Structure 1
């Protein structure tokens, strides 16, 4: 199912789609050369927004949940990609320890964990679940919506290794974004592969670092295609020293928001876009759609109500917000059954394995859709992502639209690879 774009401004996006299809051999070669130099994150999901005049990533997750939203047809692709990833990291791997989030009673999230176990089990690994929840001291069964169960086990840490009772893994896969900090039990594991690395977690990672890396990637890619990088890149700025509860730093934030809105206005004027620009202000770290607000006029920041202040002051695990990113708002003009939709693309290693549309009937084109009330409609990437149809009129073919999504998502994944290299605490050892 392909959503329809409800905007007359589809010319630029159709032109972008056309250019990508015509440049497909050059694009794929460019990616191959980049992956010779850079290591892709182990798994990634990317939220995209299609405005009809620009297509850009707005969030890149290095601990993706939501694998349960991929269709059964996508699983063989995911298994194949998982095999490739594991072979590259630890060819002799036999046992995989999967460490999920601690909020393990959420059945949707548990279905995601079960799907990850299925993918890596089908890739030929013994997969077991270890929990960071110290209140779990013996194997504990958790029910799943389909009637099956998952068994969570307490972690067993020795001086140099981490495992479970009678289970010694070669590889540890973390599906917990470490918002609350890096647990000591995961530190100093020099004999095992810990994926993703600890500095990929929100205890260390910053969205601004990611979008700085993405800007670099977008410029390189735009040069390859002979286009304006703005068409695929959301502009951003950073504001520090903000305290929403006390109202501190809001003058500086207001000035930054005003400056960003003016930059967007100039771009809209350049392209003849008759839209009202907006920005998204969000915590520079964190996930789950927390600590995010849409601002259409800098004056809105003068009298924030208590509810907004509370919403913006903390993110997941009660982490206080003091630094925010001001991101150019990219409206989404895609609709599924009259509800606003945005594509989310999933990758394992450097391969696109599937995705879905996040759909929200109660949210507007300029709002965050990752919120209670959203639903998911799968994208059938299995055939389309790798088999676009050159020569078909742009804007009408699902495979061509999905190929374009896959390219932009891979650019964001490549940016994450740049970002992880730049923030690697051990990098100087190898320099």
Structure 2
């Protein structure tokens, strides 16, 4: 059970959930047809924001690092979904190589790897972990705080295949987002499946491309069930000529912020929303909540002080930020134990496999919660996000979580479209 979870579900969002509930059969049929045309990513997670008048995804991660935060009760769902993903990609697979991030001192991330390995092994796969760290020259055992144990092994490359000493896998599964580029060991693996594909990494992927794909998916879905797509779709803009350290591109950024805020204010007026609109400016590539700022007026992005510029100028792996996405901010009205919270939904193949809440005791409902000091509630959702109950009201937990699952799957479908459409250029840009 989620402790003391409160959600201000009023107005259009309650209507939205009722629409999802009333049209559940049609929604599931629509998804089934979509997945016949689009290959789902192996896995993904999406951050949702529930404002009471809008339910929308604000981030989609194709290399999720929080499997340790899922409720163990959903392990059978995870295993079943992982089996479907493996059968779709490599039906005769018996061996799988997992390549993680180099965060060997991050206990939470390592616990995520351990949980992911346990899920994959329950599918019948022989799973081993290959490390990109140059100092891993022999099998290295890591003892984790939760009692789990991981063995990292040095990678071994032979022609167009990657494996370990005495271990030749069918596929290579990346839990590394490639922010710093594609290591030589992963380039040119033309004899193996690499999942997700290399061009799904942050060295190439852009949040704005995902937002554009999601915009199309959301519009088609909204037309199918008869809703205003704005209720599930954050507006966005892009500025691709910014240099925070040199203070160039501020005019472009201010213009995009002002344009977006003007559109949002018009929608707020249309629906009688009294809250103050805001936008979130963030690096167009990258993760870990780095390079993010909340803005309520265009003047706030002109003449940033040194601390603000430093915060925005560099993201993971020390990469400089020159492209930003300006995304409509979605307030969160959800709290867990009195602290502001947002749901995070996890998926494998095209199935929702669970979720949890990101909680921050020091942030407001119009701020980024993916920041130092955040907490996770691993006790997770009460239901699996796939079983609505028409006998209960739209605000009942099964139906609220079903709405989460619908919107999360829309984001996953958009990621599938995004990956397909960027593939032709991947070979040139993956190296």
| Superposed pair shares fold, TM > 0.5 | yes
- Structure-to-structure mapping, 1:220-369, within 5 angstroms: 220-369=220-369
Contact kept, 8 Å, 2:236 with 2:326, in 1: the verdict is yes
TM-score of the superposed pair, with normalisation by structure 1: 0.96
Match of residue 82 from structure 2? 82
Q: Deviations over 1:269-314 (max 9, x none)?
A: 0000001110000000000000000011111122322111111001
Quote how far apart the aligned CAs of 1:427 are: 8.9
CA distance in 2, matches of 1:32, 1:110: 34
CA distance in 2, matches of 1:360, 1:381: 18
CA distance in 2, matches of 1:220, 1:244: 37
Q: Deviations over 1:135-177 (max 9, x none)?
A: 2111111120123321111100011110001111001100000
Instruction: Report whether the alignment pairs 1:422 with 2:421.
Output: yes
Quote how far apart the aligned CAs of 1:30 are: 0.3
Quote how far apart the aligned CAs of 1:388 are: 1.2
Contact kept, 8 Å, 1:421 with 1:427, in 2: the verdict is no
Contact kept, 8 Å, 1:384 with 1:398, in 2: the verdict is no
SS of equivalent residue, structure 2 residue 45: strand
Quote how far apart the aligned CAs of 1:379 are: 6.0
Query: Which residues of structure 1 form unaligned runs of 5+?
Result: none
Instruction: Report whether the alignment pairs 1:211 with 2:230.
Output: no
SS of equivalent residue, structure 2 residue 399: helix
Match of residue 412 from structure 1? 411
Q: Deviations over 1:205-264 (max 9, x none)?
A: 000000000000000000011111000000000001111111111121111111111111
My pick for the range that moved more, 296-305 or 83-92, is 296-305
Match of residue 200 from structure 1? 200
Instruction: Report whether the alignment pairs 1:73 with 2:73.
Output: yes
SS of equivalent residue, structure 2 residue 385: helix
Quote how far apart the aligned CAs of 1:196 are: 0.2
SS of equivalent residue, structure 1 residue 93: coil
Match of residue 142 from structure 2? 142
Q: Deviations over 1:360-385 (max 9, x none)?
A: 01001111111111111146558442
SS of equivalent residue, structure 1 residue 425: helix
Contact kept, 8 Å, 1:208 with 1:325, in 2: the verdict is yes
Quote how far apart the aligned CAs of 1:394 are: 1.9
CA distance in 1, matches of 2:191, 2:249: 45
CA distance in 1, matches of 2:200, 2:35: 19
SS of equivalent residue, structure 2 residue 150: strand
Quote how far apart the aligned CAs of 1:6 are: 5.6
Match of residue 161 from structure 2? 161
CA distance in 1, matches of 2:242, 2:195: 32
CA distance in 2, matches of 1:11, 1:196: 39
Quote how far apart the aligned CAs of 1:11 are: 1.7
Q: How many residues align?
A: 426
Match of residue 401 from structure 1? 400
SS of equivalent residue, structure 1 residue 280: strand
Quote how far apart the aligned CAs of 1:391 are: 3.3
CA distance in 2, matches of 1:359, 1:97: 33
Query: Which residues of structure 2 form unaligned runs of 5+?
Result: none
CA distance in 1, matches of 2:204, 2:369: 25
Quote how far apart the aligned CAs of 1:425 are: 2.5
**Pairwise CA RMSD of aligned residues?**
1.5
- Runs of 4+ off more than 6 Å: none
CA distance in 1, matches of 2:370, 2:214: 21
Quote how far apart the aligned CAs of 1:134 are: 1.5
Instruction: Report whether the alignment pairs 1:130 with 2:130.
Output: yes
Quote how far apart the aligned CAs of 1:5 are: 4.7
- Structure-to-structure mapping, 1:41-80, within 5 angstroms: 41-80=41-80
SS of equivalent residue, structure 1 residue 385: coil
CA distance in 2, matches of 1:304, 1:365: 23
Contact kept, 8 Å, 1:236 with 1:327, in 2: the verdict is yes
